[in-house]
Amino acid sequence: MERISYSDRYFNIKEALTKQEREAGEYILKHLGSIDQLSIQELSKKAYVSSATVTRLSRKLNYTNFSELKSYIREECAKERNSKKTLEPPIATYYKQMLRSVNTLVHRESLEQLVSLVKSARKLVLVGIGSSGLTATEAKLHLSRMGFLVDCISDPHMMKMSATLLTKADLIICISNSGETQAILETVKIAKGNGTTVVSLTNSSYSSLAKASDLNLATASIETIDDSRFINSQFTNIFILDCLFYELLETPIYADNRSKTLRVL
């Protein structure tokens, strides 16, 4: 099974770390290639934190200790050096890295739970702002073709208005990379007050949105890619939604509905 990379672990729990733990984490992130040469005391000195902070960070990142953290990073760096020897374009490498990341972050059980929630909902509402709103709009198109009663909202005021009319029989799916978009958090609060089930797609399992959700699927952040020209922040959100559509289309009624709607186009 593919191991979760250091950068994926770090960005997934970054919001839950103390200031000192973040400073140590950021230092490691910027010096991945040389971390295995440092002792815990040397790293502590360079990052201006205590050795105890580095130890706590290692454990919060689900490493046994700092030695295991260094060992895993050493293996990651070796794999990256080997991948750079290939002739494929950088974007192909980045896409592969993002796919590996989301595969390690999202468990099969979470996807199965999402499929079950979608199937049992009376009505689906997808919300997102900006590029996340565009992803939600495309998701609405696919789900509508399968016969689901679904709405998509990207306007902050309309989100909250719609949430007031949701019931415990409905499902709201929120897409927000940061998990801190205020309008979406306010919408979720209203929806949960009505007993509505909340699903979220976020870059961090420790974001406010993730914590408020009944089910959170943690996606990979583009911050793990050290290239400012790579700007596709929706790639892993789209991947997870594609997995959802693929699973839903195993059910004959949804596949038949999709075929019917496509024939009239």
* Residue 1 within a domain: no
Last residue of a domain, one of 85, 118, 139: 85
- Are 73 and 191 in the same domain? no
pTM to 2 decimals? Answer: 0.75
* Residue 90 within a domain: no
- Are 131 and 258 in the same domain? yes
* Residue 91 within a domain: no
User: Could you tell me where the beta strands, DSSP code E, fall in 128-231?
Assistant: 150-153, 171-175, 197-202, 215-218
- Are 125 and 66 in the same domain? no
pLDDT in tens, 108-139: 999 999 999 999 999 999 999 999 999 999 99
The boundaries of the domain holding residue 79 are 6-85
- Are 152 and 235 in the same domain? yes
- Is 139:241 a contact under the CB 8 Å cutoff? yes
- Are 133 and 241 in the same domain? yes
In this structure, what CATH number is given to the domain that contains residue 116? 3.40.50.10490
pLDDT value of position 83? 62
- Are 28 and 148 in the same domain? no
pLDDT value of position 2? 62
- Are 52 and 121 in the same domain? no
- Are 130 and 70 in the same domain? no
- Are 117 and 238 in the same domain? yes
> Which residue is listed with tokens 């490498």?
93
pLDDT value of position 225? 83
* Residue 252 within a domain: yes
pLDDT in tens, 156-203: 999 999 999 999 999 999 999 999 999 999 999 999 999 999 999 999
Query: What are the distances in angstroms from CA 60 to CA 9, 21, 65, 265?
Result: 9, 10, 10, 52
Number of domains forming the structure of the chain: 2
Q: Closest by alpha carbon to 201, among 190, 185, 213, 186?
A: 213
* Residue 15 within a domain: yes
- Are 195 and 238 in the same domain? yes
**What DSSP state is assigned to residue 214?**
S
* Residue 156 within a domain: yes
Which region holds residue 11: left if phi is over 0, alpha if psi is between -120 and 50, else beta?
alpha
What is the pLDDT confidence band of residue 26, given thresholds at 50, 70 and 90?
Answer: very high
Q: Which residues contact 87 (CB under 8 A, 6 or more apart)?
A: none
pLDDT at 22 over 90: yes
Q: Mean pLDDT of all residues in the chain?
A: 92
* Residue 94 within a domain: no
* Residue 75 within a domain: yes
In this structure, what CATH number is given to the domain that contains residue 66? 1.10.10.10
- Are 77 and 111 in the same domain? no
pLDDT value of position 4? 83
Determine the Cα angle at 146 with ends 170 and 192, to 5°.
15
pLDDT value of position 90? 82
Q: Which residues contact 141 (CB under 8 A, 6 or more apart)?
A: none
What is the pLDDT confidence band of residue 86, given thresholds at 50, 70 and 90?
Answer: low
- Are 170 and 238 in the same domain? yes
